[in-house]
Structure 1
Amino acid sequence: MESIPTQPWPLWRRIGFRFAFVYLVLSFNPASFLEFIPGAYGVMQVLFSPIDWLTAWVNKHWLHIADPLVMPNGSGDTSYGWAVMYTYLMLAFVAGIVWSIADRKRPAYHQLHYWLCLLLRYTLLLACFSYGIQKVFALQMPFPNMSQLATPLGDFLPMRLSWMFIGYSTPYQVFSGVAEVVAALLLLWRRTATLGALVAFGVMLNVAMLNLSYDIPVKIYSIHLCFISAYLLWQERSRLIPFFLLNKPAMPSVLFEHQFATKWKRISRVVAKSLFVLASMGITIVSAMQYREQVNAEIVKVLPPVKPDMYQVEWWVQNGDTVKTDYANAAHWKDIIFDYNGQGSINAVDSMFRIRYRRSYFAYLPDSTGTTLAFRKFATDSAPLFTLQLQLPDSNSMLLKGKINADSVAIRLRRMHRHFQLAEKQFHWLSEANR
């Protein structure tokens, strides 16, 4: 016979559980468990289409957050993200009331409680592990590129500042990733799951505070992960409070000690857990390793004959007339950075390109002979914005000629050999003064 607790719950706990169960199950994203299966993402989209319709209806008639709703797009805090969260809360509230009336005589929900905690434990485990592995391989926050180093600090948004703060220091990023991976590994085993939830709560609370303090658009998700950690810890309050606050002994945890009576169930649990570790965690590690190799190869890729560096605009001739660089005019090109891997930026606010932090970002590609240079808004664009003839009078100069829109231009660039102290990654055990 399977070991299931039989103690009745107080009324407040039954009502609270019904609400929490509905909300947390609705918020559960099975794609995180099934993304390694080909075609799973498409199936999830079909299954969740009713939720999308209901969210749009609730927003239109009650919430009025935005019209139309913007789906997650790299930001998890879009209008859709907030609308779907409020929709889940409303559904959980209504379902909790109906459930409490219809099932008011049931004394407890021990079986459902076990499966809910198990679902939350593995959801938290996957989140900690996937984010942690990215940081362990220093992939989530890259080191600032040349264009970012050349951007005045005051022009950055808080999120980008925090991203570069962490990306600057590989040891710190790896350290924070190890903390998340440790939380995931502790959550993997029943005997250490409570400690894992404690570590995960501390790690995710720090992440949530970074997101809230630096306006990083993953606020909803990080707060959810904090809530999941807190929910798991709340189930262990009868053990944690005596141990940490009252200096009293704590009984062993029974939260995940669900003993299956039949042999096939015990074997199935071992097989399912092994498959989970191999499929989800194993694939995450392999994917991270492959992506790191790709990033390391791309990040230092030079496209001859362009030498990655910062170049100053010495002169600009447009339609036969010399145009003096006007530093007060934001649209005038003042300097241009050719970074590695065919990426670059211009110290100007030129609407032809991608404007970020008062610099114009572009992608460039020399032809096979190294005599022309094609400028694109995005590297994936099929057609360039314009193509200029490329000449290299000497090792420190570049001459670009051709047409930009309807204007004939000739641009002479001088290589600056710009040195950024931040790129040195300085570290001193001995510091005689603040620097």
Structure 2
Amino acid sequence: MIQSNPIKQFALYAIGIYILLYGFPFPLNHVPYAHELFSKYALAVQEKYILFFGHSILGMDSFEKIQMTGSGDTTFDYVRIPALFSLALLIGLIFFFIKKTRAKAEPFYRTALIYARYYVGITLITYGVAKFLEGQFPGPSFSTMETTIGNISPMGLAWRFFGYSDTYKIFMGLAEVTAGFLLLFRRTAILGALVSISVCLNIVLVNFSFDVPVKLFSSHLLLFSILVLLPKVKPILDFFILHKTSTLGEFKPHFSKKKHKITWLVINLFIIGYIPITIISGHLISQQYRTMKNDWEGLYYGFDIDANRAWNKLMLEKNYMMLQSEYGPKEYFSIQEIKEGGEILIRNQEDEKKPHTLHIKDLGNEQFEILLKLGEKEILAIGSKKDKSSYELVKRGFHWINEYPYNR
């Protein structure tokens, strides 16, 4: 048990408050209407404080928050850490100097650790479930296999590596989901923390090694997992290293009033039951937008580039179409509908109101006629088609016996 000295009491408040500030708005982000009624206002206040901290404390005159970049390692995210920690120190100092609350530092910190394991647990379940479905790591695509390895980013290399094997994705998903669910229950929380540390350490190393812009977030998941385990390190070392009789114990909130017990039960049922169910159902619902049966799927190539057509490759895969020149930019279209006779309705981001059309006709002898209508412009081309089974990455497959290594 942590000794009740002033410095440690203050430290417990500061760390506990930082955990709560960083994790916010969890779990309110899973409560219907909570964002509109409360969370968005609290987040707006937090954002203003972070901007104030960057401008006034760090002297960053041009500092601003860039909205929706897809990156978790923006300048704003880096400034957010010392800003929230400074706020945690300030709030912790206030609690510390209030005589009635100072003695409650340890129970507060233990409650913050419960919040931390719920936060990490739900996050790992979210990412874990995604790995069983189409989502985070897509399998080899035509665009992927048509891009030379020297022209992909380190993150792209990692995503292609993980996406190739469904078996490995399932293994990663099982590890994350297992760690997540173990963290949600107090009797298995320590085992969950041990598994979570292993899982999150691997994630952190991948993110730092391949420049994946989720370094700060994954590092916090690892940090919170370590904090959950930290109070139990001594009994674990006593048992496994020193071979002493040891007990981990568990923290179970004690409530004297019935209404507090009922409230705590409802919170647990919401986090442990409702949230995982909504996460899983949400991932399943998203599959209808990620997958589409496309009988015309393939890479159409062999077109001559001319003034009327700046591309020589047309890729159809699931619910999207892509046009690409040999080394030029790529233009993406979403497939809205696949009709009979090779007619496909497509849309791009620039013209969402009226769909364009693509007509494909099999001419035989492995030749296909492509008629692409983009608004008033019609493009006619004849070329060949390549299926995924033509690529060495796909057709090589798995072999139990290899008389010689096949490493191309």
Q: TM-score, normalised by structure 2?
A: 0.84
Match of 1:326 in 2: none
1:360 to partner: Cα distance: 4.3
Number of equivalences:
403
Q: Does 1:175 align with 2:175?
A: no
* Residue of structure 2 aligned with 1:29, choices 19, 24, 32: 24
Counterparts of 1:399 and 1:317, CA distance in 2: 17
1:299 to partner: Cα distance: 3.0
* Structure 1 unaligned regions, length at least 5: 324-331
Aligned 8 A contact 2:95 2:102 in 1: no
Post-superposition Cα deviations, 1:34-78, rounded to whole Å, max 9, x if no partner, equal 334332232311221111122222223344285432134322222
Q: Does 1:431 align with 2:392?
A: no
Post-superposition Cα deviations, 1:371-413, rounded to whole Å, max 9, x if no partner, equal 87776444983356x7677665446334456888999865332
> Greater helix share, 1 or 2?
2
Distance 1:98 1:276, change over 3 A: closer
Q: Does 1:281 align with 2:255?
A: no
Q: TM-score, normalised by structure 1?
A: 0.80
Match of 1:413 in 2: 383
Distance 1:251 1:315, change over 3 A: closer
Distance 1:343 1:117, change over 3 A: same
Q: Does 1:338 align with 2:316?
A: yes
1:228 to partner: Cα distance: 0.6
1:164 to partner: Cα distance: 1.8
1:190-205 mapped onto 2 (5 Å cutoff): 190-205=186-201
1:192-231 mapped onto 2 (5 Å cutoff): 192-231=188-227
* Residue of structure 1 aligned with 2:36, choices 24, 37, 42: 42
Post-superposition Cα deviations, 1:206-264, rounded to whole Å, max 9, x if no partner, equal 1111111111111111111111111111122332232233332223324x133334455
Distance 1:318 1:408, change over 3 A: farther
* Residue of structure 2 aligned with 1:312, choices 265, 285, 301: 301
Aligned 8 A contact 2:132 2:170 in 1: yes
Post-superposition Cα deviations, 1:285-320, rounded to whole Å, max 9, x if no partner, equal 22233334x26xx534227xxx2222223434547x
Distance 1:273 1:221, change over 3 A: same
Q: Does 1:397 align with 2:367?
A: yes
1:22-421 mapped onto 2 (5 Å cutoff): 22-30=17-25, 32-43=26-37, 44-63=39-58, 64=60, 67-97=63-93, 99-100=95-96, 106=102, 109-137=105-133, 139-254=135-250, 256-292=251-287, 294=288, 299-302=291-294, 307-318=296-307, 333-348=311-326, 350=328, 355=329, 359-363=330-334, 376-378=347-349, 381-383=352-354, 393-394=363-364, 396-400=366-370, 410-417=380-387, 419-421=390-392
SS of 1:69's equivalent in the other structure is: coil
Distance 1:396 1:200, change over 3 A: same
1:92 to partner: Cα distance: 2.6
Counterparts of 1:311 and 1:123, CA distance in 2: 46
Q: Does 1:10 align with 2:2?
A: no
1:202 to partner: Cα distance: 1.1
SS of 1:412's equivalent in the other structure is: strand
One-letter amino acid of the counterpart of residue 395, structure 2 = E
Between the two proteins, what is the percent identity of the paired residues?
A: 24
SS of 1:311's equivalent in the other structure is: strand
Aligned 8 A contact 2:372 2:380 in 1: yes
1:367 to partner: Cα distance: 8.4
Distance 1:185 1:387, change over 3 A: closer
One-letter amino acid of the counterpart of residue 202, structure 2 = N
Counterparts of 1:114 and 1:424, CA distance in 2: 53
1:111 to partner: Cα distance: 2.3
Counterparts of 2:351 and 2:174, CA distance in 1: 34
Distance 1:207 1:65, change over 3 A: farther
Counterparts of 1:423 and 1:281, CA distance in 2: 34
* Structure 2 unaligned regions, length at least 5: none
Counterparts of 2:100 and 2:259, CA distance in 1: 34
Post-superposition Cα deviations, 1:137-176, rounded to whole Å, max 9, x if no partner, equal 4642121211112211121111122112112111111111
1:183 to partner: Cα distance: 1.4
One-letter amino acid of the counterpart of residue 302, structure 1 = N
One-letter amino acid of the counterpart of residue 230, structure 1 = I
Distance 1:229 1:344, change over 3 A: same
Counterparts of 1:187 and 1:373, CA distance in 2: 47
Counterparts of 2:306 and 2:126, CA distance in 1: 52
One-letter amino acid of the counterpart of residue 337, structure 1 = M
Aligned 8 A contact 1:136 1:175 in 2: no
Counterparts of 1:184 and 1:390, CA distance in 2: 47
Counterparts of 2:165 and 2:358, CA distance in 1: 38
Counterparts of 2:385 and 2:404, CA distance in 1: 34
Cα RMSD (Å): 3.4
